[in-house]
Amino acid sequence: MRRTIFALAIIVLITGVLSGFRNEPAGTPYVFPKLVFFPEMPQNTSNPVTVEGAELGRYLFYDPILSSDSTMACATCHKQEFAFSDAPNAFSKGRNGLLARNTMPLFNLAWAPEFFWDGRAISLENQVFEPVRSHDEMDLSWKEAELRLQRNTFYRKKFTLVFGEQKIDSVLVSKVIAQFLRTLISTGSKYDRLQNGTASFTKDEADGFVLVNDMTKGDCLHCHTTDGDALGTTNKFSNNGLESFNDARMFRDVGRGKVTGNLSDFGHFRIPSLRNVALTPPYMHDGRFKTLEEVLDFYSEGVKTNATIDSKMGSHPNGGVHLTADEKRKIILFLHTLTDSTFVRDPRFANPFVK
């Protein structure tokens, strides 16, 4: 009798442990590339990436099944050839009109602590929920999305392979799409090859690199890290002087301030990476600058002071850092060395429905 009770207790314990991990993916652990000059990748223990999970996420990323009329996919606005941005569009077209902000590119997301221009999503899984249900984007309720996937033989088999005999729900969908997004690592530019010792800058490219990281010249390094950190961004938020309002409440788009409620965050937006920047025009959260030349003209002579401007931006008087035409040219040459042509052609990230 005592043995029977003990055995039942063990079964209950094992069942409880397993149920606590009901959303944990199974399968082959995904092997990330060896990274040079990158900070250590944050560990994601709640949703470890597997080969099977990331592959399922890739199918869902490219499948319009997650939009209300089955015409839009995540990939509709995030195109691989443009580093998963929607270049050259200032605003992407959703199911019910144009979106309010420029579409950000997707790469090296495993290092980002928040997502969207205002950082309202605190994880990739959390980020996945919003565009599907947003009226302005894919405009599909998650309840309907779940029903569609549950009725789909292809996806039932795929989800069973990753999660076993679990009912397909929005949590599982968010997990596998997030897994795919974490595999989007860009580390094959000329800049990376230089770090690996297999390429070298021209003199003008090297001069551009120095200018970007010189606090008395380009002074980009406070926000866009390219010396000692290969991400090309601090992943923080900044007001870079696009507007000239003395009252922070006058910003057309308050950005980070809407999330935190802090007046000091009004007009602050997530700092994008300089990686692949030549592939992702137009620029800024509102897509106001069509070219890199326009961006450099702004930082050189067009910065405006306002109530919440980043102190690092305000340290440069009279509108900016005042670069010469030749300095701007060299900086742009350096920025082109950050283009990863292998990433935008990598078949592992391409549309799996196109053979």
- Residue 41 falls inside a structural domain: no
If asked whether residues 234 and 328 sit together in one domain, one would say yes
User: Same domain, yes or no, for 166 and 74?
Assistant: yes
What CATH code is carried by the domain that includes residue 89? 1.10.760.10
What integer pLDDT is reported at residue 24 of this predicted model? Answer: 57
**What 3-state class would DSSP assign to 321?**
coil
pLDDT at 21: 44
Contact status, residue 256 vs residue 237, Cβ threshold 8 Å: yes
Residue 355, in any domain of the structure: no
Instruction: Give the phi and the psi of residue 94 in degrees, each rounded to 5.
Output: -95, -170
Write the burial class of residue 69 (CB in 10 Å: 0-12 exposed, 13-18 middle, 19+ buried): exposed
Asked if residue 217 is part of any domain, the answer here is yes
Answer whether residue 6 is part of any domain. Answer: no
pLDDT digits (tens, 9 = 90+) for 205-264: 999 999 999 988 889 988 998 876 789 999 999 999 999 988 888 999 999 999 999 999
| 87 in the same domain as 178 | yes
Which tokens sit at 113? 């602590």
Domain co-membership, 175 together with 233: no
Domain assignment present for residue 93? The answer is yes
Residue 179 lies in a domain: yes
> Are both 79 and 134 inside the same structural domain?
yes
Predicted TM-score (pTM) of this structure: 0.91
Structure tokens at 49: 């990436």
Residue 168 in any domain: the answer is yes
Q: Which of 151, 172, 171 shows the shortest CA–CA distance to 161?
A: 172
Query: How are beta strands 93-94 and 237-238 bridged, if at all?
Result: unpaired
Summarize pLDDT for 18-38 with one digit per residue, the tens. Answer: 444 445 556 899 999 888 889
Q: Do 331 and 234 reside in the same domain of the chain?
A: yes
Residue 5's pLDDT is: 44
What is the DSSP pairing of strand 237-238 with strand 269-270?
A: antiparallel
Number of domains within the chain: 2
- Answer yes or no: is 95 within a domain: yes
- Across the chain, which has 355 residues, the per-10-residue mean pLDDT values are 47 43 70 89 93 98 98 98 98 96 98 97 97 96 98 97 96 98 96 93 97 91 84 95 90 96 96 98 98 97 93 78 97 98 98 93
**Same-domain pairing of 179 and 230:** no
Same domain? For 226 and 292 the reply is yes
171 and 220 in one domain?
no
Domain range for residue 246?
190-336
pLDDT of 121 reads: 98
In terms of domains, do 205 and 326 share one? yes
How high is the pLDDT of residue 296? 97
Predicted local distance difference test score (pLDDT) of residue 12: 41
My answer on whether 93 and 136 are in the same domain is: yes
In a shared domain, residues 105 and 221: no
DSSP string, 166-220: ----HHHHHHHHHHHHHT-----SHHHHHHTTS----HHHHHHHHHHT-TTTT--
pLDDT of residue 88: 97
**252 contacts: CB under 8 Å, gap ≥ 6:** 243
